[in-house]
Amino acid sequence: MIKLHDLYFKSFISEQEVDTAVQRMVDEIANDLQDEVPVFVGILNGSFMFVSDFVKKYPKPCEVTFIKLASYEGLKSSEDIQRLIGLTQDLSGRKVVILEDIIDSGNTLEAIHRIFENEMVDELKIATLFYKPEAYKKDYKLHYIGLEIPNKFIVGYGLDYNGLGRDLPAIYQLKTTQHMTNLVLFGPPGAGKGTQANFLKEKYNLIHISTGDVFRFNIKNETALGMLAKSFMDKGELVPDQVTIDMLNAEVEKNADAKGFIFDGFPRTNAQAEALDQLMEDKDSQINAMIALEVDDEVLVERLLERGKTSGRKDDADESIIRNRITEYYKKTAILKDYYAAQDKYYGVDGVGSINEITERLNNVIDKL
């Protein structure tokens, strides 16, 4: 992933794939032109790298020249195309191949056709390394196309975003979701997970997704997924991971503009962690950290017994039940700790101290992500 100005881009087309596409175009064009000496006309600035690689590969004599047009500002194609440097030599009777880095709306191509209208060239062919069929609004024929790509903004290999990115040897694509902070929050019962999740939510503008709440919400509101989940629970079976993931996906989609998510109560298994990674990847994002609040067993027991006195929760009143829940927690989360540690995303945070102290420790971890 790279950042140019304010935007994030992800790897899209490798140097090798670009090279293969350029070579294929060279082969086709050289084959079609036979023994004519063509004039290749590069469209500046974007095509400089493509033209350079193209003519180096071109197996026969050729001429190269450039024209410079300007049509783009930032991420948007503009109708208003200016000719900054036009043709500086007579091309009448010549076989001309336009070398474009990318054809998007086709506005630039229209301007090129206008420039060549009165040039009396023998033949005018259009070759573009990248082509966005969904964006193309003209009907000029494109004779040679390197790679068709979806209608998303790209940078690299000559293409820029506000001046940056032209020097990159490979192609990067604008991320659909920009930078998010996605956390998986863990903590044994009594660690203060709920309290801390509330602070994090506020401070970082995150959406707290508690799997238990999501389940209860879907079942209570009788959503299709809720009914599906309930049908398994009624039979005494575990709800399949895919159903849970679909519910979480719906939550993520409901909050498409969020700065990030706190996942609480999920994942619980390796398979679920993998499914969550996949879900994040589908959103052009990722889990940034698994944060586990670490609290000594004796402190937990003490805290829960104390809570039990006032909360009336039965499972908080009995010490052996409490110890069991804590043991269960460590048994279940050990694999997940390994899973995220392997990706360098595991952060254990000391959960003993005042609420403020613990919040401070969490902030220190998150601010560095």
Known active-site residue 216: no
Q: Specify the residue, 106 or 188, whose C-beta has the smaller distance to ligand IMP.
A: 106
Signed CA dihedral, 340, 342, 343, 349: sign only: positive
77 touches ligand IMP by CB under 6 A: yes
Q: Specify the residue, 151 or 231, whose C-beta has the smaller distance to ligand IMP.
A: 151
Q: Find the shortest distance in angstroms from Cβ 115 to ligand IMP.
A: 14
CB 275 within 8 A of CB 241: yes
Q: Specify the residue, 151 or 343, whose C-beta has the smaller distance to ligand IMP.
A: 151
Signed CA dihedral, 365, 178, 44, 144: sign only: positive
What residues between 4 and 63 interact with ligand IMP by CB under 6 A? 46
46 touches Mg ion by CB under 5 A: yes
Mask 280-309, x = binds Mg ion (CB under 5 A)?
A: ------------------------------
Pick the binder of ligand IMP from 25, 50, 99, 106 (CB under 6 A). Answer: 106
316 touches ligand IMP by CB under 6 A: no
DSSP state of 315: G
Q: Which of 83, 138, 152, 325 is catalytic?
A: 325
Q: Which of 95, 125, 175, 193 is catalytic?
A: 193
Pick the binder of ligand IMP from 50, 54, 58, 72 (CB under 6 A). Answer: 72
Q: Which does 272 bind (CB under 5 to 8 A by kind): ligand IMP, Mg ion, none?
A: none
108 touches ligand IMP by CB under 6 A: yes
Per the structure block, which two tokens stand in for 58? Answer: 């071109």
Q: How far apart are CA 22 and CA 113, in angstroms?
A: 23
C-alpha distances out from residue 183 to 64, 78, 88, 214, Å: 53, 40, 58, 17
Q: Find the shortest distance in angstroms from Cβ 167 to Mg ion.
A: 16
Look up residue 87 and give its amino acid.
L
Strand segments, DSSP code E, in the chain are 2-4, 7-13, 39-44, 63-73, 76-85, 95-103, 123-131, 144-148, 154-155, 171-174, 183-186, 207-210, 261-264, 289-294, 346-350
CB 21 within 8 A of CB 129: yes
128 touches ligand IMP by CB under 6 A: no
CB 98 within 8 A of CB 106: no
Look up residue 303 and give its amino acid.
R
Cis status of the peptide bond prior to 267, with omega within 30 of 0? yes
Q: Which does 106 bind (CB under 5 to 8 A by kind): ligand IMP, Mg ion, none?
A: ligand IMP
Q: Specify the residue, 153 or 217, whose C-beta has the smaller distance to ligand IMP.
A: 153
102 touches ligand IMP by CB under 6 A: yes
* Residue 316 CB partners (closer than 8 Å, separation 6+): 304, 305, 307, 308, 322
Q: Specify the residue, 103 or 262, whose C-beta has the smaller distance to ligand IMP.
A: 103
Per the structure block, which two tokens stand in for 220? Answer: 């209570």
Q: CB under 6 A: which stretch of 95-103, 118-126, 324-332, 343-351 binds ligand IMP?
A: 95-103
Pick the binder of ligand IMP from 29, 40, 58, 107 (CB under 6 A). Answer: 107
Q: Find the shortest distance in angstroms from Cβ 47 to Mg ion.
A: 6
104 touches ligand IMP by CB under 6 A: yes
Known active-site residue 325: yes
103 touches ligand IMP by CB under 6 A: yes
Closest CA to 161 of 54, 74, 239: 74
Per the structure block, which two tokens stand in for 18? Answer: 């670009």
| Pairing outcome for strands 2-4 and 154-155 | unpaired
Q: Which does 103 bind (CB under 5 to 8 A by kind): Mg ion, ligand IMP, none?
A: ligand IMP
What positions carry a catalytic annotation? 193, 268, 307, 313, 325
Give the residues lining the site for Mg ion (CB under 5 A): 43, 46
Give the residues lining the site for ligand IMP (CB under 6 A): 46, 71-72, 77, 101-109, 153-155, 159
